[in-house]
Structure 1
């Protein structure tokens, strides 16, 4: 029997995952919580073999940080990052904290339980890229790495000067990257660009 901990703050999604686990004879629901900060303690108190870990949880607790702590203390526990966010940094961050797999809730072609089975059989399930996001007349794949770095700071509300200082480039270079992204997307302003990026969950500030 594989003992599963679910960490998910959205009630409907949490109940859906609970149902999948409870309907499968191979798995046992050890606990289901909404705050990632409690996950490590649950692993101490209960036998846990697998964690389904949301990224952004209750009280803004980070699933990445919780995963890192769990994998350091319990390296044999499998962790699958489960997220609806399409932030292009998430694949690298999930790997950095030791997550065994990642599953995008709303757009993954593969069902969650299939990813669970593959992970428990020793596979590391990662897509080659994050899912494509439509931004006006462009897609997220059309942005360069330099543009994404600027975009991440733009979403944080930084000025051109603050972005230039943070990235170690000139203000003119920052403006050129922003102008390029506006040209690609067709958006009238950097404010509109940032708003759409946030609404499409391409970049998530704070996680």
Structure 2
């Protein structure tokens, strides 16, 4: 019997995951937690084979940070991260923090079950890329890596000067990146741009 811990802050999704896994043969849902920060200690004091981990929960710790701590204490515990956020940086961040597999909530429950089964067999299952997102007249794949790096810091409310210092580029280069993104999207201001990318879940602040 595979012992499962669910970490999900949305009650409806948490209950759906519990019900779904309990209908599957061979899975025992031991606990369902609202906050990622509680997961490392729970895994330390209980035998857990699989964690279904939401990335963005309330509290002191996000799902990536919790996953890293779980892997430090219990390296054999499998972790499948689930998220509705379409931030491309999540894929890299997941791998860096020991997440075995990644699944988008907008996909079907059958797809999640397939990811879980493959993960428990030792596979690492990640999407090749995030789904396409429309941002004004552009899509997320129209932005360069440099533009995305600038955009992440814009979303955090940093000034051009602060962004330039953090990325080790000139303020003029920052302005050029922002100008290019506004041209691609058709937006009139960087405020409009940042509001749109956050609302479309393309960039997740402070994760």
Q: TM-score, normalised by structure 2?
A: 0.96
Using the TM superposition, give the Cα deviation of residue 45 of structure 1 relative to its aligned residue in structure 2, in angstroms: 2.4
SS in 2 for 1:111: helix
Partner residue in 2 for 1:158: 158
Partner residue in 1 for 2:87: 87
Partner residue in 2 for 1:127: 127
Is the 2:64–2:94 contact (alpha carbons within 8 Å) kept by the matching residues of 1?
A: yes
Is the 2:39–2:66 contact (alpha carbons within 8 Å) kept by the matching residues of 1?
A: yes
- 1:36 is the counterpart of 2:36: yes
Partner residue in 1 for 2:14: 14
Assess, with a 3 A threshold, how the Cα gap between structure 1 residues 4 and 128 changes in structure 2: closer, same or farther.
Answer: same
Query: Which whole-Å deviations, capped at 9, do the CAs of 1:16-43 have from their partners, x for residues lacking one?
Result: 1111111012100011000111101111
Partner residue in 1 for 2:199: 199
Structure 1 residue runs of 4+, over 4 Å off? 107-110
Which one is further off, 120-129 or 99-108? 99-108
Distance in 1 between residues matched to 2:109 and 2:2, nearest whole Å: 24
Distance in 1 between residues matched to 2:109 and 2:153, nearest whole Å: 31
Query: Which whole-Å deviations, capped at 9, do the CAs of 1:139-177 have from their partners, x for residues lacking one?
Result: 100100000000001101111111111111111111110
Distance in 1 between residues matched to 2:35 and 2:181, nearest whole Å: 36
- 1:59 is the counterpart of 2:59: yes
Unaligned runs of 5+ in 2: none
Partner residue in 2 for 1:113: 113
- Root-mean-square deviation over aligned CA pairs: 1.3
Distance in 2 between residues matched to 1:109 and 1:33, nearest whole Å: 20
Distance in 2 between residues matched to 1:97 and 1:67, nearest whole Å: 6
Is the 1:56–1:62 contact (alpha carbons within 8 Å) kept by the matching residues of 2?
A: yes
Assess, with a 3 A threshold, how the Cα gap between structure 1 residues 197 and 107 changes in structure 2: closer, same or farther.
Answer: farther
Is the 2:37–2:60 contact (alpha carbons within 8 Å) kept by the matching residues of 1?
A: no
Distance in 2 between residues matched to 1:109 and 1:39, nearest whole Å: 23
Distance in 2 between residues matched to 1:60 and 1:196, nearest whole Å: 26
Is the 2:198–2:204 contact (alpha carbons within 8 Å) kept by the matching residues of 1?
A: yes
